[in-house]
Amino acid sequence: MTQQDTDQQGTDQSRNLPKRELGTQGLEAGAIGLGTMGMTMAYGAGDEPGGIATIRRAYELGVTLFDTAELYGMGTGSNEQLLGRAVKDFRDDIVIATKFGFDMDAPQNAAGMALNSRPDHIREVTENSLRHLGTDYIDVLYQHRVDPDVPIEDVAGTVGELIAEGKVRYLGLSEAGPDILRRAHAVHPVSVLQTEYSVFERAVEAEVLPVVRELGIGFVPYSPLGRGFLTGAVKPAAEYPQDDMRSWDDRWQPGNYEKNLAAIRELTALADTKGITATQLALAWLLAQGDDIVPIPGTRSPQRLAENVAAAQATLTPQDLARVQEILPRGAAGSRYPEAIMPSW
Ligand X SMILES: NC(=O)c1ccc[n+]([C@@H]2O[C@H](COP(=O)([O-])OP(=O)(O)OC[C@H]3O[C@@H](n4cnc5c(N)ncnc54)[C@H](OP(=O)(O)O)[C@@H]3O)[C@@H](O)[C@H]2O)c1
Q: Is there a contact between 1 and 310 (Cβ–Cβ < 8 Å)?
A: no
Q: d(Cα 148, Cα 268) in Å, to the nearest integer?
A: 41
Nearest residue to ligand X by CB is: 35
Query: Measured between alpha carbons, how far is 181 from 17 in angstroms, rounded to an integer?
Result: 29
The C-alpha atoms of residue 68 and residue 37 are separated, in whole angstroms, by 6
Residue 72 annotated in active site: yes
Which residues would be at the binding site for ligand X (CB under 6 A)?
35-38, 43, 67, 144, 174-175, 194, 222-228, 231, 233, 279, 296-301, 304, 307-308
Residue 23 contacts residue 189 (beta carbons within 8 Å): yes
- Return the number of the residue (132 or 300) whose C-beta is nearest ligand X: 300
The residues near 236 (Cβ < 8 Å, ≥ 6 apart) are: 252, 254, 257
Residue 146 or 156 having the CB closest to ligand X: 146
Between 30 and 226, CB nearer to ligand X: 226
Of the chain, the end-to-end C-alpha distance in Å amounts to: 41
Catalytic residue among 43, 59, 72, 142, which?
72
Alpha-helical regions (H) of 37-118: 48-60, 78-86
Q: How many CA atoms lie within 13 Å of 218's alpha carbon, on the beta-carbon side?
A: 29
By beta-carbon proximity to ligand X, the closer residue of 43 and 257 is 43
The residue among 130 and 146 lying less far from ligand X, judged by its C-beta, is 146
Closest contact distance (angstroms) between CB of 73 and ligand X is 12
Q: Are 25 and 170 in contact (CB under 8 A)?
A: yes
- Which residue type, as a one-letter code, is found at position 257? Y
Q: How far is the CB of 5 from ligand X (least distance, A)?
A: 13
CB nearer to ligand X: give 121 or 300: 300
| Minimum distance, C-beta of residue 108 to ligand X, in the bound complex (Å) | 16
Residue 204 burial (10 A CB sphere; 0-12, 13-18, 19+): buried
**C-beta of 107: minimal distance to ligand X in Å?**
20
Residues in CB range of 274: below 8 A, 6 or more apart: 281, 314, 316, 320
Ordered alpha helix ranges (H), 165-247:
178-187, 204-215
**Shortest CB 60 distance to ligand X, Å:** 17
Active site residues: 72
